[in-house]
Amino acid sequence: MKNSILVLDFGSQYNQLIARRVRDMGVYAEVVPCNISIDELKSYQPIGIILSGGPSSVFAENAISIDPNIFNLNIPILGICYGMQLTAHLLGGKVEKGVKGEYGKSKFKILKPCKIFENISEESIVWMSHFDEVVQVPYGFEIGGKSSAEIASFFDEEKKIYALQFHPEVSHSEEGSKILENFVFKVCEALKNWKLTNFLDEEIQKIRDKVGDKKVILGLSGGVDSSVAAVLIHRAIGDQLTCIFVDTGLLRWKEAEMVMQSYGEYFDINIIKIDAKERFFKKLEGVSDPEEKRKIIGHEFIAVFDEESSKIEGAAFLAQGTIYPDVIESQSIKGPSAVIKSHHNVGGLPKEMNLKLLEPLRELFKDEVRKVGLELGIPHELVYRHPFPGPGLGIRILGEVTPDKVEILQKADHIFIEELRNADWYDKVNQAFVVLLPVKSVGVMGDERTYEYTAVVRSADTVDFMSATWSKLPYELLENVSSRIINEVKGINRVAYDISSKPPATIEWE
């Protein structure tokens, strides 16, 4: 931990992505609140500090700030976006409200060489997302580069303080990873001494210390996240863990049978199956709002666990496979990040429940979770199964959820996944599914008029699920999928393909 980089969280959607990029270099990184005290910060003994971006403005009332003494600790600092503006503001530079802002891809030109720009092209494409801009650097600092803004970077090599207006952590910044590497290794002089096995050893010990002799109940869905969480917790506390698999009626085609069979074959874990289909459908009657659906499903899920926990003597914890993209989209985890939507295992939890939460994967991205799963010995076909949202098909059926609609969607989704596997495309994309729209259109089948639902096929390519592009599937594959769904699924007469990226869209429709 003494070789660590601290990321101060000012609420950027990408703050944990910064930490992930650093971890990928073999250096431990951790996200901490931006209002951390100097004494607590020093207790980490970091070799470098990164100030994240954020949605705020240094001019806003109650603007988020930090103790200026952080710049006197003789610890290398890199300010990103809001972190750059705050650095300028606190050290005597000048920040002004922008006229039009700078968003998306932009051309960055290096004006003055420095350590973080070593072996970086003089001009490159970077990812911008800011409105305010720095118009004067602090005394003693030099302008490092420009974009459409005259000052897109500044630095003081002697003080080892650097600032970037763009986001080097996102893949859209062509040489962003190299810039971060330069900061981590050339400026902070970090050693490559961290890997996921370190995380495993530490998390297993944390679980043991937190749980003690109590029992843990885990909501097992059969998806990657809950599977990895289950095996990790079981590795730590053994039979103190009981997994509860709830058939909500909102699962994929024959999901319940697959989950019980897979876990019976691969894992020696206590599993209880609960059939709660009627209970969930009744609660969802007449409900169309996506947030309300998510919260109803989440509340009902927890209610089931509360009921079951009363039957298990000593049960004190509810374990979940929550991962970081769930958290960052649902609430501000350590800083003032913008809420995008609630996830049933994050924002949908009731304020009061009888069980304490245990979420060992909460700070990991999907690709890191998969690596942990392989380290734990989980079979490849389960680890690399496409993710499935906690609320299930409840958020893939737009509008009211009914048993009939679920059956229609299950069949359509099964056909899509089957065709992806047949065409050897399943492992080439990261998430694929079908959405059922509350829209009917006219069609013709066998010379007869039809008036049926529209299905939307969605396939996304992504590394961390924080950003994604739509999959460029072959036309022949899409044609086969469309033909089979329309001909084999009664209730659908039109199929569309979603070609939206994230952002601005999310991967799921609700």
Residues classed as catalytic: 81, 167, 169
Annotated binding site for ATP: 221-227
CA–CA gap between residue 128 and residue 85 (Å, rounded) = 13
Is 275 within 8 Å of 250 (Cβ atoms)? no
Amino acid present at 102: E
Taking every pair of Cα atoms in the chain, the longest distance, rounded to a whole number of angstroms, is: 80
Dihedral sign (CA 89, 94, 100, 104): negative
Is 379 within 8 Å of 286 (Cβ atoms)? no
Is 478 within 8 Å of 436 (Cβ atoms)? no
Strands 153-156 and 161-164: antiparallel
Beta strands in 231-321 (DSSP E): 241-247, 270-275, 315-319
Q: Determine the 3-state secondary structure of 203 from DSSP.
A: helix
438 sits in which H/E element: strand 431-445
> In DSSP terms, which residues pair with 492 in a beta bridge?
453
Q: What angle do CA 387, 468, 153 make, to 5 degrees?
A: 135
Q: CB atoms < 10 A from the CB of 22, how many? A: 26
CA–CA gap between residue 18 and residue 411 (Å, rounded) = 40
Count of residues in the chain: 510
Q: What are phi and psi of 447, to 5 degrees?
A: 65, 10
Cα 395 from chain centre: 17
DSSP 87-103: HHHHTT-EEE--SS-EE
Is 447 within 8 Å of 455 (Cβ atoms)? no
Strands 102-110 and 142-146: antiparallel
Annotated binding site: 221-227
- The CA distances from residue 109 to 83, 145, 364, 425, 458, in Å, are 20, 5, 33, 39, 37
Report the half-sphere exposure of 274 (CA within 13 A, side-chain side).
24
CA–CA gap between residue 310 and residue 317 (Å, rounded) = 12
Is 326 within 8 Å of 364 (Cβ atoms)? no
